[in-house]
Structure 1
């Protein structure tokens, strides 16, 4: 285990702690874990259970993240751990995000950087923290991104953006590009389907846009977040930050707890047309 950042002891003297990493601000009793399942109270101190524990590693095309407008044609050494601080019923990577902790291998930050450097000849540009929720791998991502930046590598996040501003601002100087998953553009969807809130994600989006290259992905789910009005509101809001922000509209397929039929192609095309009224770069995925 690795001692966590961003927590405080509670004042009642029973060794309970409060985690300050994400908007859940979990109150965690001794031997308890947060909603993310990877931050544990051990005798009144908060520790991470996933520091350096890699469940997946691959050299991916950068377009797979997806990043369409950032160094196209290049590759990125992609690492994932386990754990997530949202509970989306449609999760595409639920086996590592929400299932029992899968088998993993320890990979120290300096070793991750060395492996990424070994792949430079194959078109690799750096390290992507992806697959599960990298912001719940915070301490490892921060240490590895700092080492990677020092070595001249690019650092990429594929994230739900559900983090408090202070830790995000500490990480951002070492991040070059982000794909941010905005699940929907209503608080009701986030509360009912993801067990979270939309507003912190929008705050993160603004911070990402100020600090690095930002692209956004929204999974279009029939009857839940696919109305033209909602797509229009999201696209208009993003355009208010920068109309050049790429928006990836991804087609839903049944997974995890959701058995709704796949999103019709015509729904996807309609959504792209609506978003294109405000944004210059709209892409369809999973078609």
Structure 2
């Protein structure tokens, strides 16, 4: 059976789990292992997603599960993103329960639900079902994703999403290949989302990998061709996971590359500086 959610198109026999560790073949169907299984939940400032130009000053109920369809060696949440069902303790939370919890927290400034922490789209069906119920309760849906999803499921989901932050992890096919990803798939996701909801983009600047002025110029030029008002977040790298031997991005380099991007984009923000 072929999983058609992302470009990996994992060919799975019965009982076999895909590259993302979150989807399995059962009785001739691809089903999410992580449906309703929560590893992380918190009421966060919306700016932490990061979203700077969507409901500033608000809080949002943020939840994550497990699994990811990339293999970034710098992952900050690798404990859950690179793990499978048997390696983690999870709590069961149905879509109805999550939507009701979001509504209950409105008294504390909550505006909805953010699907984040791990890669939420590997649990596509849960995000879709929750998002529909959250909208029924008059609240918003925020998605924090690597954008690695095929066009058909993305077009189905985006009308349920009010704001999305998509990681654009660089702007060369070679870098994406090292991460187990596909640059063109992410570019397509950004372009399609920009037609239907609020979009912001984040790029983590990894020294010596994706932090040249030439690459940031190309990235910013392309993003401006979609919409120059899409906010771009340029974040500073810190040693993490399998990149503990690499130095942090120099602060002055982050600021310099932000100036490069501002030649093409209206809103450029620097993170972790």
Deviation string 1:215-273 (CA, Å, 9 cap, x unpaired) is: 00000000000000000000011111111110000000011111201000111011101
What SS class does the counterpart of residue 2 from structure 2 fall into?
Answer: strand
1:179 corresponds to which residue?
Answer: 165
- What corresponds to 2:112 in structure 1? 126
Aligned: 1:36 with 2:20: yes
Is 1:166 the counterpart of 2:147? The answer is: no
Corresponding residue for residue 72 of structure 2: 88
Show the counterpart of 1:198.
183
Within the candidate set 50, 53, 62, 2:34 is matched to 50
1:60 deviation in Å? 0.1
Q: C-alpha separation between the residues in 2 aligned to 1:24 and 1:117?
A: 36
**2:83 aligned with 1:67, yes or no?**
no
* TM-score normalized by the length of structure 1: 0.93
Whole-angstrom distance in 1 between the partners of 2:90 and 2:123: 14
CA-atom RMSD in angstroms: 0.8
Structure 2: 5+ residue runs without aligned partners?
none
C-alpha contact 2:148 2:185 (8 A) present in aligned 1: yes
Q: What whole-Å deviation, never above 9, does each CA across 1:74-126 have from its counterpart, x for those lacking one?
A: 00000100000011111111000003532110100011011001111111100
**Partner Cα distance (2:28, 2:269) in 1:** 47
Q: Does 1:139 align with 2:103?
A: no
1:224 to 206, 209, 218: 209
Alpha-carbon distance in 1 for matches of 2:56, 2:268? 16
Q: Secondary structure at the match of 1:155?
A: strand
Counterpart residue number, 1:13: none
In structure 2, the residue matched to 1:285 is 271
Q: How far apart, in 2, do the equivalents of 1:82 and 1:142 lie?
A: 16
Find the aligned partners of 2:69 and 2:111 in 1 and give their Cα distance.
Answer: 28
- Structure 1: where are the runs of 5+ without partners? 1-16
CA distance in structure 2 between the aligned counterparts of 1:34 and 1:63, rounded to whole angstroms: 33
1:191 positional shift: 0.3
Determine if the alignment matches structure 1 residue 207 to structure 2 residue 192. yes
Aligned length: 270
Report the secondary structure of 1:211's partner residue.
coil
Alpha-carbon distance in 1 for matches of 2:163, 2:22: 25
User: 2-side partners of 1:126 and 1:205: how far apart?
Assistant: 22
TM-score, with length taken from structure 2: 0.97
Q: SS state of the match for residue 253, structure 1?
A: coil
Deviation at 1:47, TM superposition (A): 2.1
Residue pairs, 1:92-131, within 5 angstroms: 92-100=76-84, 101-131=87-117
1:165-205 residue CA offsets vs partner (Å, 9 max, x unmatched): 0001111111000000000000000002x112100000000
2:236 corresponding residue in structure 1: 251
